[in-house]
Structure 1
């Protein structure tokens, strides 16, 4: 009994491992995501979007530490796609951590849990197909080997004729002469009228035209194969090709499409709350500062933190250029009662 238990234990373990592997490779739902390490330190980050059109910004951040020093490496131009991903080809080593920054249309933002990419394990190959068993050739036996030939079919008409002609045959056997009485002759029975035979022609089977398989295109972004797309679904990308609202698709060969992301020109709009004047002073103007709790956080252009101003109670607050140490672009985040109200930038020139 122990030998049979050990014999069936190995296939069960293989089936369990394959199921766990398929679950591990599935895309997680935001704010969770999947990070898989490929060859040459390339990291594939993918996710499923349950928020729909509510996402305004989605950025991918990377750090050597799982809690601090995260920097954005990619901000998606179209974050509302249902299933999306990004391949990090500039990862310095395999000890990096990744997380997602998600900004919703309500002003609320979410940081996902940091995650270290796992190694990609290809699925096991399918088992080989079993060969069909060969059947022994069927041989026919001759009639001399004791096979009885089929009996002839006797109809009701034959039986009736044999029954009526039986007395005449019995007289012939006893006397050896035919009967002399003409009255004893059996009248001939006309053949029965059989119903007309039905037309046994085979029914006409309509000939269906052959089914032409639908053409399938392979979509690639750079050197990465994204997914196969049927020809009937290419109409969804009509706006991306003509209006360039999403990734632009360019045909390379007959069955391959390559995606080149459309990068729109960045336009700058001056903030109505935080801005600089001609003299170089930074204005922070908040009309309802007396009834609200405001704070402003300032960053370098590379998103490194500088300082913050808390509990602003004045409607107009001026900051000198000496607080920023150099000229150039700076980023800021304005919070109202703990919620992000505005995220923008300003410029401090050299001549003021």
Structure 2
């Protein structure tokens, strides 16, 4: 009987927790006791990637700080342990199957005051006879075998050096470009070369997305002084 009551109580807590979260493209950002938590309810059925991004201001310079391991999870919650202060803005990037994607509206974490819950003196915990382990082997419950979890495939994370900006153009951001020799090889998803930048001399460079002729995934190989620094990809979308 106590076990049934516990299951019902757990279900109520789960429903209450879901009710406190917003549904994508809206999300919840809250701060409690100095800890910032980002959470949401996911009603999308064709999402292939969901990233949490953070910026010092609300309009630009967003950086991906976390990628969800399962973009189809109905509910998700993430604690930002890398936030140095609470003045930043957050937004969520959702990539759908194909080439469509959305950015949510940016927002700051809302302060949640600590709630002190006093124990009700009228509530008494009672341990029933069914909670006591029986010494009779016939009455002992069978312990199920351990569940083997299938490893989750690592989610794609956008590069911090070469990525698609808010306007859809490609950004190359290399702060030490003046002191090092960087080169970039761009190619299509099937491996066909597009073009090469033999020497990136500027720390911040923008490439018009029209340079890539059509929408889709593009791969790049970033080299630093002749050595491979990063291999990654970015998405070029068509204008609406």
Bin of the TM-score, shorter chain as denominator length = 0.5 to 0.7
- Where does the alignment leave 5 or more consecutive residues of structure 2 unmatched? 1-15, 123-127, 132-143, 158-167, 176-192, 228-240
- 2:225 maps to 350
Residue aligned with 1:321, SS: strand
The alignment status of 1:107 with 2:94, answered yes or no, reads no
CA distance in 2 between counterparts of 1:339 and 1:109 reads 16
User: Could you say which structure has the higher strand fraction?
Assistant: 2
Higher relative CO (Cα under 8 Å, sequence separation at least 6) belongs to 2
Residue pair 1:100, 1:111 contacting (<8 A) in 2 also: yes
Q: How do residues 165-176 of structure 1 correspond to structure 2 at under 5 angstroms?
A: none
* Change in CA separation of 1:45 and 1:116 when aligned onto 2, cut-off 3 Å: same
Match of 2:201 in 1: 325
Aligned partner (choices 78, 85, 110) of residue 77 of structure 2:
85
Structure having the higher helix fraction is 1
Greater Cα offset, 108-117 or 336-345: 336-345
Give, in angstroms, the shift of residue 32 of structure 1: 0.9
Counterpart check, 1:51 vs 2:44 = yes
Q: Is the 8 A contact 1:333 1:343 kept in 2?
A: no
CA RMSD, Structure 1 to Structure 2 (Å) = 4.5
Deviations 1:10-67 (A, max 9, x none): xxxxxxxxxxxx899711111111011022x320000111013x11111111112111
Q: Distance in 2 between matches of 1:109 and 1:264?
A: 16
Structure 2 residue aligned with 1:244? 151
CA contact (8 A) 1:27 1:47 kept: yes
Q: Distance in 2 between matches of 1:351 and 1:127?
A: 66
Cα drift, residue 244 of structure 1: 1.6
Aligned partner of 2:11 in structure 1 is none
In our comparison, the structure showing a higher alpha carbon Rg is 1
Distance 2:213 2:35 in 1: 37
Q: How many equivalent pairs are there?
A: 167
